[in-house]
């Protein structure tokens, strides 16, 4: 199976990387092919709604790193969205990539893909991750993709803090066992 991991963290060795690394380790151990796209270190212009692409019928007006990831997204069986929680949503870097899904919409919507959400955050309140989870769920509903699970690592302000929890193990198991969904 082909997996694309979209990360949004601007910190290469932060809390999100702990979850991503564990998910990838589990997926690769299970024999899956994994491609990781670190949006914070790529050039992806957010969609401006110009509609030149006509939802994927024509090329996007922007010639950037979305041209690298788009074919991989189209060919993937599973898409992983991984981000630290920034103001109760995903990072702007990850959201720029997601906004550009519009440019390949006709190739993603209804493509029977699966998805996973990995989020880290400092807040421990039950409601803290509601915004990012609802946004993820609504996107999957629109795309007609199947949710294979989430790891919501609340109360993890540092790499050392998340390493003291079972969240990395949850991400590892999700990566290794997601095909059972």
What would the pLDDT profile of 25-54 be if each residue is shown by its tens digit?
999 999 999 999 999 999 999 999 999 998
- Domains of the chain, each with CATH number or no CATH: 7-180 (3.40.50.360)
For residues 110 and 25, give the distance between their C-alpha atoms in angstroms, rounded to a whole number: 28
Q: Which residues pair with 119 in a beta bridge?
A: 83, 152
Look at residue 56 in the predicted model and tell me its pLDDT. 86
pLDDT at 179 over 70: no
Handedness of CA 46, 17, 146, 71 (dihedral sign): positive
Look at residue 90 in the predicted model and tell me its pLDDT. 97
What would the pLDDT profile of 120-170 be if each residue is shown by its tens digit?
999 999 899 999 999 999 999 999 999 999 999 999 999 999 999 999 999
pTM over 0.85: yes
DSSP state, residue 129 = G
What is the average pLDDT across 16-21? 98
């Amino acid at each position: 199976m082909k997996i694309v991991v979209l990360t949004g963290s601007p910190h290469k060795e932060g809390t999100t990387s702990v979850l991503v690394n564990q998910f990838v380790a589990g997926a690769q151990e299970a024999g899956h092919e994994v491609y990781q796209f670190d949006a914070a270190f790529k050039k992806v212009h957010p969609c401006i709604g110009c509609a030149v692409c006509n939802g994927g019928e024509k090329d996007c007006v922007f010639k950037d790193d979305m041209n690298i990831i788009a074919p991989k997204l189209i060919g993937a069986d599973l898409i992983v969205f991984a981000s630290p929680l920034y103001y109760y949503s995903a990072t702007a870097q990850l959201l720029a990539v997601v906004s550009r899904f519009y440019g390949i919409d006709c190739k993603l919507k209804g493509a029977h893909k699966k998805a996973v959400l990995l989020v880290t955050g400092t807040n421990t309140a039950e409601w803290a991750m509601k915004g990012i989870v609802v946004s993820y769920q609504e996107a999957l509903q629109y795309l007609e993709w199947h949710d294979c699970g989430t790891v919501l690592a609340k109360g993890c302000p540092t790499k050392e803090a998340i390493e003291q929890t079972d969240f990395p193990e949850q991400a590892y198991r999700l990566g290794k066992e997601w095909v059972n969904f």
